[in-house]
Amino acid sequence: MKQQTLSMRLARVAAQVPAGACLADIGSDHAYLPVALLLRGSITAAVAGEVALTPYQAALRTVRDNGLEQQVSVRLADGLAAIEPQDRISAISLCGMGGETIRDLLDSGQARLSGQERLILQPNGGEQPLRQWLMDNGYRILWEEVLRENRFDYEIIVAERSGPVSYSARELYFGPLQMQLRSPAFLAKWQRLLHLKQRTLERFSRAQAVPEEKVQDMARQVRWISELLA
């Protein structure tokens, strides 16, 4: 296979990788992202990290089939342990995992971060705790995007270390830039979530023994989303 066609989700992630980057794609699965970027000539080298054997082997196969063994190092490793200082990584992508998982991989892999890398994150849920980690660790959010593909809403968060940064609780929940941009995909996502959360809140009120704290949290979310969409 000499051509790599990316899903819309990965194509939007690819658009955030700086030209000429050395990319570490962590949780790379088939290594589609680094291979597509190398075939286009938009990055110079890549590490494809995988913790599981089957996707690691799939990544090796994609790289070999495209004759990119010199440019892509495929490594069987847990999270950022795939990155070595001599890789001179300038961008790290962590895509298609839960936001909490991405957060934990960044947190446990801090020793592998130089602080100069652009982080390109595509969490499947758990965006709020991921943004909280970025803020707590001095990363400024440079770009955010919501997109819908195959009936799923996806978010892309791009961040770089900048020094102290402060986001409000609502900015951490919705995304500071998305709250300003209010793209159609962003508004449609929160419209869908509002219906789901309203239904959950109704179920809570009928059910017995739902902890009050949980009810209050759901009510707060419904209020915040309603105010966002008003």
Q: Which listed range, 89-97, 129-137, 173-181, 196-204, lies at the site for ligand SAM (CB under 6 A)?
A: 89-97
Nearer to ligand SAM, 53 or 209 (CB): 53
Applying CB under 6 A, among 65, 78, 202, 217 the residue interacting with ligand SAM is 78
Q: Is 125 in the site for ligand SAM (CB under 6 A)?
A: no
* Longest distance between any two alpha carbons in the chain, whole Å: 61
CB 38 within 8 A of CB 72: yes
Q: Which listed range, 21-29, 63-71, 134-142, 181-189, lies at the site for ligand SAM (CB under 6 A)?
A: 21-29
Backbone angles phi, psi at 150, to 5 degrees: 50, 45
Nearer to ligand SAM, 30 or 140 (CB): 30
CB 156 within 8 A of CB 13: yes
Binding mask 28-67 for ligand SAM (x = CB under 6 A): xx-------------------xxxx--x------------
What is the smallest separation between the CB atom of 221 and ligand SAM, expressed in angstroms? 26
Distance CA 144, CA 88 (A): 25
Nearer to ligand SAM, 54 or 208 (CB): 54
Nearer to ligand SAM, 55 or 138 (CB): 55
Applying the rule CB under 6 A, the residues between 92 and 121 that interact with ligand SAM are 95-97, 105
Give, for 128, the enclosing helix (H) or strand (E).
Answer: helix 127-136
Kindly report the number of other CB atoms within 10 A of residue 85's CB atom: 8
Can you tell me whether residue 116 is helix, strand or coil? coil
Count interface residues toward ligand SAM (CB under 6 A): 16
Nearer to ligand SAM, 49 or 175 (CB): 49
Q: How many residues appear in the chain?
A: 230
Q: Is 26 in the site for ligand SAM (CB under 6 A)?
A: yes
What is the smallest separation between the CB atom of 220 and ligand SAM, expressed in angstroms? 30
Distance CA 204, CA 210 (A): 6
**C-alpha distances out from residue 97 to 72, 120, 150, 180, Å:** 22, 12, 17, 26
Residue 224: which of 216, 204, 125 has the closest Cα? 216
Residue 32: which of 19, 52, 13 has the closest Cα? 13
What is the smallest separation between the CB atom of 59 and ligand SAM, expressed in angstroms? 9
- Contact positions vs ligand SAM (CB under 6 A): 10, 26-29, 49-52, 55, 78-79, 95-97, 105
